[in-house]
Amino acid sequence: MSSQEIPEENLPSKQVTEPEHGSVAVADENPFADPGLPPHQHRIQDIDERAAKRSERAIAFMFTLSMLATVGFIASFVTIPADKSIYVWPIGHISGLNFALGLTLGLALFCIGAGAVHWARTLMSDVEVADERHPIEAEPEVKAKVMADFKAGAEESQFGRRKLIRNTMFGALALVPLSGVVLLRDLGPLPEDKLRHTKWAKGKKLVNMNTHEPLRPSDVQVGSLTFAMPEGMSEHDHDFQTQIAKAALMIVRIQPENIKDKRELEWSHEGVVAYSKICTHVGCPISLYEQQTHHVLCPCHQSTFDLSDGARVIFGPAGHALPQLRIGVNEEGYLEALGDFEEPVGPAFFERG
């Protein structure tokens, strides 16, 4: 088929000129010309302030819902027992605490993200701007342009104008980190003042740890070392090891005239003195007693205490004397505590403050 037989409407608008010998043919127009950006279409929020207000309220609602979910997360963590189980269809029986924490934290994060996306899609400027590539180094003109674009973006985002959105967003972002802070609570039980108290109390009998019988003054001989625990404790108790680590007691009998410390003498009964068995260095149990000098030795790091002089440290790394328990005798003739230790037992913490 010759070119004369091709319909005129199918012929190119401009003919390609015949190239000279050795040259390349070039079309008169670029067939891949940049079509440019499509015309911008205004959203309903751009032309109707009532629609913009509806979007603003929807965004604020999501941020507010995020705040409420964060509060719910904290409340769930505090109020729901860790061992509580609930039935959730179709999952089955699961931990009520884990379900509540996951649901509230997920809702808090989702609402912040959904609110931000809705804000960007409905109220922030959606005008597409084409910018030519430029060298990496920032010239003064570029810096000025960036600052101008930033100011323009801030104005177009209506961040300053839409105060309801801004304030609720700040509230949601401020509360969400509290979820992580609250989780720190789960690192362990709160110590409260548990380290300052033991099972000893006024009226508690001193029970021999070997025979499990209450002790009388006559049961403690001069030069002997006896270990005791509070009345009512049992090795079968679930927290026995925790409690005995603070309440373990060693009892010795010293001739009253050999006791140098005045308070020690007042807190004893006929020369029977009771001191904590827990070393004040790292908490090892003290079990070595020298009856001639009335010294006790910690086998771990050789801290030595003088039981005839307020159990003060005379050698080793321990930083404090052993706490003394004030004792007396009840109507039945048994040794009893007249209260708890007046200072923390075991290794020093916070300078015992």
Give 112-153 pLDDT, tens digit per residue: 999 999 999 999 988 877 777 766 777 888 888 988 988 888
Q: Helical H runs in the chain?
A: 44-47, 49-79, 96-122, 140-156, 163-175, 177-183, 240-247, 262-266
- Beta pairing partners, 85: 95
Domain ranges of the chain: 41-127, 204-337
Q: Cα dist. 310→251, 328, 336, 352 in Å? A: 13, 17, 20, 17
pLDDT beyond 90 at 56: yes
Return the sign of the alpha-carbon dihedral for residues 158, 164, 168, 170. Answer: positive
- Provide mean pLDDT across the span 263-285: 92
Q: Which residue has the higher pLDDT, 262 or 194?
A: 262
Task: State the residue for tokens 């401020």.
Answer: 174
Query: Which tokens sit at 161?
Result: 């104008």
Look at residue 5 in the predicted model and tell me its pLDDT: 54
Residue 82 pLDDT grade (very low, low, confident, very high; cuts 50, 70, 90): confident
- Give the Cα separation of 206 and 200 in Å (integer): 9
CATH superfamily placement of domain 204-337: Rieske [2Fe-2S] iron-sulphur domain (2.102.10.10)
Helix, strand, coil share of the chain (percent; to 5)? 40, 15, 45
CA 352 to chain centre: 25
- pTM strictly above 0.85: no
pLDDT beyond 60 at 154: yes
Do residues 260 and 308 touch, judged by C-beta distance below 8 A? yes
